[in-house]
A and B are shown apart, each in its own frame.
Chain A
């Protein structure tokens, strides 16, 4: 099993450009998440999908959109990138959005916006 995979691993964008970060999991998990990691701030939740067909905002959703394409895939889109979106982005999944289930994380995407 590959677990949680993310593409691309690295990306450089100019301000105003758009891009989509891709995430897929092969563990048959119901819930998926997008986080951003900034120095000294831990991880912050951008959006999550409790189950296929549902998405909800997290702590820092502004400037992002998501699509739960199917049970396996959950993409994050930046419509008009800004330098403040320079960060490392992690996708995660869990069996369900319940207290007993841990989240499994992908390797991350390092995004720089100039």
Chain B
């Protein structure tokens, strides 16, 4: 069965420093992977997605993620954090065993310090 683990529930960075949010997945099939962002009291917005094309995926607002099959990881990075990046981030794997339903990680709350 597919699953996804977000390794940090909270991450704090200073404004202007790099961001790394870690995600590992488990899948018996070729997965599709997504990162979503949720700002306080808002819905979820897609940052980027991997669907078996290029392993380095670029998303909105300067975020990118690299699919590493050997490490079963899909970590989210950004070179320089902005205050507006403070939010909760969800890593999602699409169940590719037939139903393609989303399986969510438990989320990482990013705090950006001035």
> In the complex, A107 Cα to B34 Cα: how many Å?
19
Min CB gap B86→A, angstroms: 18
A99-B104 contact, Cβ under 8 Å, with A42-B90, A107-B43, A108-B43: no
Min CB gap B109→A, angstroms: 10
Min CB gap B43→A, angstroms: 4
B49 proximity list for chain A (CB < 8 A) = 102
> In the complex, A40 Cα to B44 Cα: how many Å?
16
B41 proximity list for chain A (CB < 8 A) = 108
A107 proximity list for chain B (CB < 8 A) = 42-43
Instruction: Decide: A45 and B102 in contact? CB cutoff 8 A.
Output: yes
A43 proximity list for chain B (CB < 8 A) = 44, 90, 102, 104
A99-B101 contact, Cβ under 8 Å, with A105-B44, A108-B43: no
C-beta contact mask, A69-104 vs B, less than 8 Å → 1, else 0? 000000000000000000000101000011110111
Min CB gap A27→B, angstroms: 13
> In the complex, A90 Cα to B99 Cα: how many Å?
20
B104 proximity list for chain A (CB < 8 A) = 42-44
In the complex, how many residue pairs between chain A and chain B have their CB atoms under 8 Å apart?
Answer: 50
Name B105's closest neighbour in chain A (CB-CB).
A42
Instruction: Decide: A48 and B90 in contact? CB cutoff 8 A.
Output: no
B56 within 8 A of A: no
B94 within 8 A of A: yes
Residues of A in contact with B (beta carbons under 8 Å apart): 4, 33, 40-45, 48, 58, 90, 92, 97-100, 102-108
Extra contacts, 17 of them, besides A40-B9, A105-B45 (Cβ < 8 A), are A33-B102, A40-B107, A41-B106, A43-B44, A43-B102, A43-B104, A45-B101, A92-B44, A98-B100, A99-B100, A100-B51, A102-B34, A103-B46, A104-B46, A105-B44, A107-B43, A108-B43
